[in-house]
Chains A and B, each alone.
Chain A
Amino acid sequence: MEENGNELIRLESVYKIFGPQPHGRAFDLVKAGVGKDEVQRQSGHVVGIDNVSFAVPKGEIFVVMGLSGSGKSTVLRTVNKLLEVTSGRVWVDGTNVQTLEGSDLQAFRREKMGMVFQHFALFPHRSVIDNVGYGLKVQGITKEDRDKASMKALSLVGLEPYSRNLPRQLSGGMQQRVGLARALASDPDILLMDEAFSALDPLIRRQMQDELMEIQNEVHKTILFITHDLNEALRIGDRVCIMRDGAVVQIGTPEEILTEPATAYVAEFVQDVDQGRVIECREVMSPPDPIDPSMSPAGALAHIGDRTGAFVCDTKGRPTGLLTAAACTRAADNLAAAVRSDFDTASPETTLNNVYAAAGRGLPIAVVDGDGRLVGNLDPRSIMEEMGRVEQLIDGFERETYL
């Protein structure tokens, strides 16, 4: 974890044990490294979180991912003290949240964060606009100002025409948009999203993920996102934290999780993921190393080496043509005639699944930056190579698991 000056949320060795005497024997057992099931058997207490530490910098979408019972929702609830921790500290914007009490805690929750729930948790007896304005109402803001802010938040999620409806009159996806608008209305720094999209249909879920990212581009919140769906985590997370039995297993960017799973547990998760959707071109591409068409064919062949081909660039470094090794061999001496211009381009952030079609032609793909300059040469064979490597890695873990 990088030490960062602008981090907004920070958990320091947080433990949470459920039961009548959380500080007693159960805590000692957990500290001594006894597993969750064994602690429950010996002491009757349930381990919620076991020594969790992480930090979330401002503006990041940090996803905590795990199966049910992994403690992910518990982690979220320590951040606004809906749950009290057994040990450890939770810092939010320089405040030790867990020491807050009563009206200080209420004021802190009001100002710092909005929360979105798995089953929406809308107030069924209030209209959409009153739901959205609830946080503001609690802050004591007048009805007019409240409605103005609520309409703005509703416009972000595209639900202005439904402001006077009751929540039950809306579909699931629309209800969760209301939930999102409610969290955005008081313009907090932090959004806590507890399995926000898990109750939605797969298609709506995807749509909502896109929408969340779109909104995030506008509002730049710090988002702590809880999910049990790895695809969702990899899709929207800037960084992903994988939890198991209350403990952190791995924290990293989606690519790191996918290409370098830390344990067999992570690998098992990852094996069902389509790597092509996560791995980006820049991780697989080779350096651009452009070619000059005025070379001799033999020189050109030597320059291309074992690559499929190389690109020809103009003076600004923009690719203008492609010279393949095969064309060099066929060309007698006029290399300029062998340069073809029907090559494909991609950006470094393009995920591999978007270049499969282009790669299928067997020609190198030009990876260009925003200005159109060549930054890399993506060989179709290297795509297959990377996919194979990840697959083998996961297979290795799998053997480890089963043997």
Chain B
Amino acid sequence: MSFLAQGAAEESIPFWDSALLDQWRIPFGDWIEQGLKWIAVNLEVLLDIFAWPFDFLIRRLVRDFLTEIPWIWVVLAMMLIAWLARNLKVAAFVAVSLAVCGLMEDDYWGATAETLGFIGVAVLLCVVIGIPIGIACGRVDGIWRKTRPILDAMQVVHSFVYMLPFIWFFGLGEVSATMVTMVYALPPLIRLTNLGIRQVPPDVVEASRAYGASESRVLFDVQIPLARPAIMTGINQTLLLAISMLGIAGLMGAGGYGRLLYRAINNQDVGLGASGGLAFFLLAVVLDRISQREEVGERHLLQRIGLAWKHRRDPDMLITDRDASAVVRYQETETHAPITAGERLPMGLALLGGAAAIVSAFLPWTSNAGKMSAWSRWADASLNGELEGRVFNGLEASGGSWFGITVLALGSFVVLAVAGCAARPGRAPRWLAPDGAVIAAFAALIVAASHFLAKPMSAAGVAAGAVDPGRGIGVYLAMAGGATAAIGAVLWIRAAEHRPLHPLPSGIGWGSMIGLGAAVLILFIGLFSGWGFDERQEAIITPELQAQFDELEQQSIDNPDRRAAIAADMLSLRAQAAQTGTLVTDGLSSQGPQLGLWALLAGLAALLTGLPAVGVFGGDEQRRWRWSAATAGIGSGVAGIALAWIFTHVRSGHPKYTSGIGSFLALIGGMLILASTMAVLKEYRRAKVYGNPRDAAAANDPGGGTAGKSA
């Protein structure tokens, strides 16, 4: 009671008054601070030992190695990892995504490598620590009871809270950032490992023990293999959480995307934020895809290699390993329809067209100067007269540029589709089929034609010293090849023995129709959006503008309080001024190649071919399939035009002359057309013919084989 009396005597504050609370204080913060100071002073060696693995991995592995080696090795290594862990498809996705991340802007590759390394180190350390702890938790109830509240705390307490002690002990930088990331990312791995171990059926564990297995055998023979899916999910979760911590890691001084985004926020740089965000997203998807567990029944490369090694002395086991199943035996009695006589001629025609398209890329496309690249380089001194008289093929920067490369790729795909389907009808990859050939052939034709039709260098350009690029034989051959391949593929798809897996939904596919309409709308917007942004001209500061600047300057001197607001005004004014020198060419402008127009016309054509594809003219399934393939081909062509234009600028562009949002919209529009046709296309597979029904019935009865057991 004495303290109440004391308080009353001093200030006579009633005890229900909040002001009373200010007189008393529990110095919890002081205690912790004192403790941390003591640790930092007296246990420095211990802290150094603790920090060593982090420091070592990040300095040696990330700083000195990963960011130093050429980018191609990193991409190839990631691709290999993806192939080993998953499949070739994921590997290709990984390679493309990482390349896009690196291409984004200057020093993006460094940031990508750094981020990759940072996440790699964090996840590696999480795995090394988390899985053993998880296994211990799964096997011993006592450990789990003690661990669980700690995990709860790690997940509930916000990272800002425990960030501080780490910074105190280990300073700002990657080491403390990695530690904070691990605190956040570790719990799900431990939880899922624990869960996985606990979910192993108890009788299977008992069986292992009953046959005399030691406890370590029980763990490695039964518990870990059966808990593997859960553990893999845990690693995946840890990875995603580590990625989500990148922002906070950037705040704590780690490099990579975290720092880029942090900088973008500080400078209110929308462009940096968007490109950084996209790279961030792509990297997250890449890592997620690699670490996802494989689908049931799928056997990834690593498993196949392991199996081959296991059966290196008795390779015949590899064959029987899966095929002994009665189910598989049943499937063997059905085969895919062989190539019919009616398909052979169109296939030959398509093959010829595809081959012509391939050859065309190596023939002259332009002379004197590039047609497309001239748009992005017309003020370059190198073009003025120097290139005159030279001839460029479809692959060279000044020749067909990416149009030639796109035609080459599409032509190769046509050839591959014909050859693949002929060699292994129905068992080749899905798109090596007549519809794949139609899509590639149409796209090749459209891309080649757009190069042919694109407006060459403007009169202004010619006046400035550029020369007329002219047209080479390659462009003509590319168009002829594309057209031949298109005719062949269309004839082929009419004769092809392909059938839908499920009946197509009856009625009109309104979803696809809306998709096509939206695509045309986007292409229309793209027509009036910028395809080229030319910032090479100096900003023009008019006298009026200069007067405004002077006035603002005077204001800021007069009112120091409003200086910040005035500075912002000046910034926006300066941005306005910068735009006066920017030349934006839209998709229709005579100052540009007018590719937007051709893209829009192709889009309108897709809208027309889309009508029978979505079932407006009746529900005949084969007809809907054929028109869907044609529509998809036109969509791919639109996307191809946009892609070729964008990459032409990526490859040979002046850094201040870039492709614009209009081309990006055209790319989206083309993809949307392609996507609208997928509902029909994805149902189609090579038709099947079934073996003799008696064999099928016998193989269908797995119990039948057991009768002769006494043999």
> Roughly how many angstroms separate A293 CA and B515 CA in the complex, as a whole number?
104
Whether a CB of chain A sits under 8 angstroms from the CB of B705 is yes
Whether a CB of chain A sits under 8 angstroms from the CB of B327 is yes
Interfacial chain A residues near B210, Cβ < 8 Å: 80, 82, 109, 113-115, 192
Residue of A nearest to B702 (CB): A171
- A interface with B by C-beta (< 8 Å): 80, 82, 103, 106-111, 113-115, 117-119, 121-125, 127, 134-135, 138-139, 155-159, 161-165, 169-171, 173-174, 177, 182, 186, 192, 211
Interfacial chain A residues near B326, Cβ < 8 Å: 169
Interfacial chain A residues near B322, Cβ < 8 Å: 164
> Roughly how many angstroms separate A155 CA and B705 CA in the complex, as a whole number?
12
Within residues 18 to 62 of chain B, which ones have a CB less than 8 A from any CB in chain A?
none
Contact residue among B206, B325, B703, B707 (Cβ-Cβ distance under 8 Å from A169): B325
* Other 13 A-B pairs with CB < 8 A, given A121-B203, A161-B705, A192-B210: A109-B210, A109-B212, A115-B207, A121-B201, A123-B207, A123-B221, A135-B211, A156-B709, A159-B709, A161-B324, A177-B706, A182-B211, A186-B211
Q: Are B709 and A158 in contact (CB under 8 A)?
A: yes
Contact residue among A82, A171, A182 (Cβ-Cβ distance under 8 Å from B206): A82
Interfacial chain B residues near A157, Cβ < 8 Å: 709
Interfacial chain B residues near A103, Cβ < 8 Å: 214
Q: Are B206 and A110 in contact (CB under 8 A)?
A: no
Whether a CB of chain A sits under 8 angstroms from the CB of B321 is yes
29 A–B contact pairs at CB < 8 A?
A80-B210, A107-B212, A114-B211, A115-B211, A119-B201, A119-B203, A121-B201, A121-B204, A123-B204, A125-B225, A127-B321, A134-B207, A134-B208, A134-B211, A135-B211, A138-B213, A158-B709, A158-B710, A158-B711, A164-B320, A164-B321, A164-B324, A165-B324, A165-B325, A169-B326, A170-B702, A171-B702, A171-B703, A211-B709
Top 5 A-B pairs, shortest CB-CB distance: A158-B709, A110-B212, A121-B203, A109-B212, A121-B207
> How near does chain B come to A106, taking the closest CB pair, in angstroms?
4
Residue of A nearest to B707 (CB): A158
Name the residue in B210, B222, B326, B705 with the highest tally of chain A Cβ atoms < 10 Å from its Cβ. Answer: B210
> Roughly how many angstroms separate A170 CA and B325 CA in the complex, as a whole number?
9
Q: Are A109 and B702 in contact (CB under 8 A)?
A: no
Within residues 672 to 711 of chain B, which ones have a CB less than 8 A from any CB in chain A?
702-703, 705-711
Interfacial chain B residues near A125, Cβ < 8 Å: 225-226
Interfacial chain A residues near B706, Cβ < 8 Å: 158-159, 174, 177
Whether a CB of chain A sits under 8 angstroms from the CB of B209 is yes
Known A-B contacts A161-B324, A171-B703; A138 and B211 likewise in contact (beta carbons under 8 Å): yes
Whether a CB of chain A sits under 8 angstroms from the CB of B4 is no
Interfacial chain B residues near A192, Cβ < 8 Å: 210
Mark contacts of B324-335 with chain A using CB atoms, 8 A cut-off: 1 yes-contact digit, 0 otherwise: 111100000000
Residue of B nearest to A117 (CB): B203
Interfacial chain A residues near B222, Cβ < 8 Å: 123
> How near does chain A come to B81, taking the closest CB pair, in angstroms?
23
Q: Are B710 and A110 in contact (CB under 8 A)?
A: no
> How near does chain A come to B317, taking the closest CB pair, in angstroms?
7
> Roughly how many angstroms separate A109 CA and B326 CA in the complex, as a whole number?
35
Whether a CB of chain A sits under 8 angstroms from the CB of B427 is no
> Roughly how many angstroms separate A170 CA and B706 CA in the complex, as a whole number?
12
Whether a CB of chain A sits under 8 angstroms from the CB of B217 is yes
Interfacial chain B residues near A139, Cβ < 8 Å: 212
Interfacial chain A residues near B327, Cβ < 8 Å: 169
> How near does chain B come to A136, taking the closest CB pair, in angstroms?
9
Within residues 212 to 269 of chain B, which ones have a CB less than 8 A from any CB in chain A?
212-214, 217, 221-222, 225-226
Interfacial chain B residues near A156, Cβ < 8 Å: 709
Known A-B contacts A123-B221, A138-B217; A82 and B211 likewise in contact (beta carbons under 8 Å): no
Contact residue among B212, B321, B711 (Cβ-Cβ distance under 8 Å from A138): B212
> How near does chain B come to A299, taking the closest CB pair, in angstroms?
54
Q: Are A124 and B709 in contact (CB under 8 A)?
A: no
Interfacial chain A residues near B225, Cβ < 8 Å: 125
> How near does chain B come to A97, taking the closest CB pair, in angstroms?
13
Q: Are B211 and A110 in contact (CB under 8 A)?
A: yes
> How near does chain A come to B207, taking the closest CB pair, in angstroms?
4
Interfacial chain B residues near A182, Cβ < 8 Å: 211
Name the residue in B209, B212, B222, B709 with the highest tally of chain A Cβ atoms < 10 Å from its Cβ. Answer: B212
Known A-B contacts A135-B212, A158-B708, A159-B706; A164 and B217 likewise in contact (beta carbons under 8 Å): no
Known A-B contacts A158-B706, A164-B324; A109 and B203 likewise in contact (beta carbons under 8 Å): no
Residue of B nearest to A136 (CB): B211
Residue of A nearest to B709 (CB): A158
> How near does chain B come to A179, taking the closest CB pair, in angstroms?
8
Interfacial chain A residues near B321, Cβ < 8 Å: 127, 164
Interfacial chain A residues near B209, Cβ < 8 Å: 82, 109
> How near does chain A come to B710, taking the closest CB pair, in angstroms?
7
Interfacial chain A residues near B707, Cβ < 8 Å: 158
Residue of A nearest to B319 (CB): A164
Known A-B contacts A158-B710, A164-B317, A165-B325; A118 and B213 likewise in contact (beta carbons under 8 Å): no
Residue of B nearest to A157 (CB): B709
Within residues 180 to 211 of chain B, which ones have a CB less than 8 A from any CB in chain A?
201, 203-204, 206-211
> How near does chain A come to B232, taking the closest CB pair, in angstroms?
14
> Roughly how many angstroms separate A119 CA and B201 CA in the complex, as a whole number?
10
